[in-house]
Amino acid sequence: MKINLKVWRQKNGNAAGKLVDYKLDNISPDMSFLEMFDVLNDELMHKGDEPVAFDHDCREGICGMCSMYINGRAHGPQTGATTCQLHMRSFADGDTVIVEPWRARAFPVIKDLMVDRSAFDRVVQSGGFVSVNTGSARDANETPIPRTIADEAMDAAQCIGCGACVAACKNASAMLFVAAKVSHLAVLPQGQAESSIRAERMVAQMDAEGFGACSFTGACSVECPKSISLDHIARLNREYLGAKITSEAV
């Protein structure tokens, strides 16, 4: 199939960028979106041009690296999927496809489609952990946890830190990400001991990084490749407000 690409090209964080047109003629509908970019980069390199820089790693939907804003949506037209899980059969022959990097103050562009998502790392470093040495792996049933709670924690723990929630949100808010990270620990006994201080610190770091506030549009959850539920944002709000009122940190 033929694809007309408009790809954001930007030399570095300080340079001005622009959308550049590329035409690809021999694209298989069975290719993934990233493989289509591999073909493009091959052609560019053969011509002696600079290939398009884009993030990717696992190419199977688990690492969260493949950040691309495709035809006006984070990770493209498919829901519940990353860019690497998107296939060219989702497009029609001759389609024009616009590809931009995630846009957020907290995610500055490094080059072309690559953005710096270390703001997420700093949010997790501020409290997204359990601060005891857990040693070697324990027996799986040492701490009995009811099935429904284990499921709830797992649903939140699925977050792969891709940043699609921020990219899709009109406020570039990181609430779904932070909520997932707070929630998966807050519902489990191992995480409960530090749940107050965790919520306070992670929200403070989220604000310091320059993410927007939550307007509850629900865009994040729709575009999240793991379909993380808005229930977790409500839990984050409860955890944070409860912590502010009751915690020891004055």
Partner 1 sequence: MSWVTQTLASSLGRKVIMSLTGLFLCTFLIVHVAGNLQLFKADGGRAFNEYSFFMTHNPVIMTVSYLLYTSIVVHAIMALLLTRHNQASRPVKYAYARPEANSPWSSRNMGILGTVLLIFIVIHMRTFWYTMHFGPIPMAEYDGKEYKDLYKIVLEAFSNWWYVLFYVIAMAALSYHLVHGFKSGFQTLGLRHKKYTPLIEFLGVWVFSILIPALFAAMPVYFFLKHVGVIG
235: closest CA among 171, 163, 191, 180? 180
Tell me how far apart the alpha carbons of residues 176 and 184 are, in angstroms, rounded to a whole number: 12
- Applying CB under 8 A, which of residues 85, 219, 225, 228 lies at the interface with partner 1? 219
Asked if 175 interacts with ligand SF4 (CB under 6 A), we say no
Residue 53 engages ligand FES in binding (rule: CB under 6 A): no
The Cα–Cα gap between 84 and 36 comes to: 10
Residues 139-169: b if buried by 16+ CB within 10 A, e if exposed:
eeeeeeeeeeeeebbebbbebbbbbbbbbbb
Q: By rule CB under 8 A, what string of x and - marks binding of each residue 107-146 to partner 1?
A: ----------------------------------------
Question: Among 180, 175, 164, which Cα is nearest to 75's?
Answer: 164
Query: At closest approach, how far in Å is the CB of 105 from partner 1?
Result: 5
Binding to ligand HEM by residue 215, rule CB under 6 A? Answer: yes
Residue 17 to residue 23: CA distance in whole angstroms: 19
Name the residue nearer to ligand HEM (CB basis): 28 or 215: 215
Site for partner 1 in 30-89 (CB under 8 A): 69, 71-73, 77
According to the binding rule CB under 6 A, does residue 127 interact with ligand SF4? Answer: no
Residues 6+ apart with CB under 8 A from 169: 175, 212, 215, 217, 219, 220
Task: Name the minimum Å distance from CB 132 to ligand FES.
Answer: 30
Q: Residues in the site for ligand SF4, rule: CB under 6 A?
A: 64, 159-165, 176-177, 180, 224-226, 228
Q: Residues in the site for partner 1, rule: CB under 8 A?
A: 8, 19, 69, 71-73, 77, 98, 100, 103-106, 168, 170-173, 203-204, 206-207, 210-219, 222-223, 230-231, 233-241, 244, 249-250
Q: Residues in the site for ligand FES, rule: CB under 6 A?
A: 56-59, 61-66, 82-84
